[in-house]
């Protein structure tokens, strides 16, 4: 099943429905970036063709495959930006709240550009580890079979119990079978890799997302996306993960920050 099919929403205005697809999960729990991408797609449908440039999700309850309702509220519809809010729920129980800012897909060019960061240094995709779901172990999870993930060899040792102890996760991302990327897929990419904390001495296990924010700088990237995720602070049972997503030309595609519980 393509991402376009798996994230489809129908209905509107105000009330949409979606079907959380089988296999888009981590340890049986539907992936958080996938959930957020369904919300941003429904919100985009109510924003006059605008695309998401920033979205924040607050995760309330674990989701599994099956039908969900997506209630969308337009908070402001401005000349250049629209702000909306969505709630994904099932049987009256809220699963995730998502707020988003949407802008016109084609925006005026600006000479005010400053990029001080640099893309991660990665071997070519064919020299990185292809992440495929395991039939006999919890990792890699089923979700990894729904997208094309390639992990930097230096960060892939955790798959075999040989961790780099750098709290980094770097690699390449693209949708499967050459499917074209869009802003919703960029949101998905921000939560597609194994947690960077898996490359530390902490337990490897389900790492529940509490909050995820994604800022989309390029809503329609092409080719492979170079990704880098790092965790620097683990305190009081919580961790942060900062993410950067770049295109093959070295241009920023998205930035993300996630708050999660330490692995359970």
Ranges of H-type helices in the chain? 3-6, 32-45, 183-189
User: Is 110 part of a structural domain of the chain?
Assistant: no
Answer whether 198's CB lies under 8 Å from 204's CB: yes
User: Is 246 part of a structural domain of the chain?
Assistant: yes
pLDDT tens profile 126-159: 999 999 888 766 678 899 999 999 999 999 887 7
Bigger pLDDT: 179 vs 49: 179
User: Is 117 part of a structural domain of the chain?
Assistant: no
Instruction: Residue 37: give the domain boundaries.
Output: 3-105+124-261
Of the chain, the end-to-end C-alpha distance in Å amounts to 30
User: Is 114 part of a structural domain of the chain?
Assistant: no
pLDDT of res. 164: 73
Query: By mean pLDDT, which of 123-137, 158-172, 222-236 is the weakest?
Result: 158-172
Residue 176, pLDDT above cutoff 90: yes
- The residue among 91, 107, 61, 55 whose CA lies nearest residue 218 is 107
Number of structural domains the chain divides into = 1
Whole-model pTM: value is 0.94
User: Is 111 part of a structural domain of the chain?
Assistant: no
User: Is 147 part of a structural domain of the chain?
Assistant: yes
Q: Could you tell me the CATH number of the domain that includes residue 201?
A: 2.40.160.210
């Amino acid at each position: 099943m393509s991402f376009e099919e798996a994230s489809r929403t129908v209905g509107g205005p105000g009330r949409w429905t979606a079907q959380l697809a089988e296999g888009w999960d981590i340890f049986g729990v539907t992936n958080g970036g996938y959930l957020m991408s369904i919300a941003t797609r429904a919100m985009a449908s109510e924003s006059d063709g605008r695309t998401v440039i920033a979205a924040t999700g607050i995760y309330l309850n674990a989701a599994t495959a099956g039908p969900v309702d997506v209630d969308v509220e337009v908070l402001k519809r401005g000349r250049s930006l629209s702000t909306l809010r969505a709630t994904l729920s099932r049987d009256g129980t809220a699963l995730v709240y998502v707020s988003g800012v949407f802008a016109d897909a084609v925006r005026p060019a600006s000479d005010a550009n400053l990029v001080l960061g640099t893309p991660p240094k990665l071997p070519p995709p064919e020299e990185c580890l292809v992440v495929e779901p395991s039939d006999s172990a919890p990792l890699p999870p089923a979700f990894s079979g729904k997208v094309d993930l390639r992990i930097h060899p230096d960060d892939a040792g955790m798959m075999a119990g040989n961790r780099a102890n750098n709290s980094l996760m770097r690699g390449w991302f693209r949708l499967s079978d050459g499917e074209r990327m869009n802003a919703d897929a960029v949101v998905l990419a921000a939560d597609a890799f194994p947690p960077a904390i898996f490359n530390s001495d902490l337990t490897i296990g389900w790492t529940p997302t509490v909050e995820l924010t994604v800022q989309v700088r390029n809503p329609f990237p092409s080719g492979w996306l170079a990704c880098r995720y790092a965790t620097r602070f683990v305190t009081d049972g919580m961790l942060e993960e900062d993410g950067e997503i770049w295109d093959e030309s070295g241009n920023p595609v998205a930035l993300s920050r996630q708050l999660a519980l330490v692995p359970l």
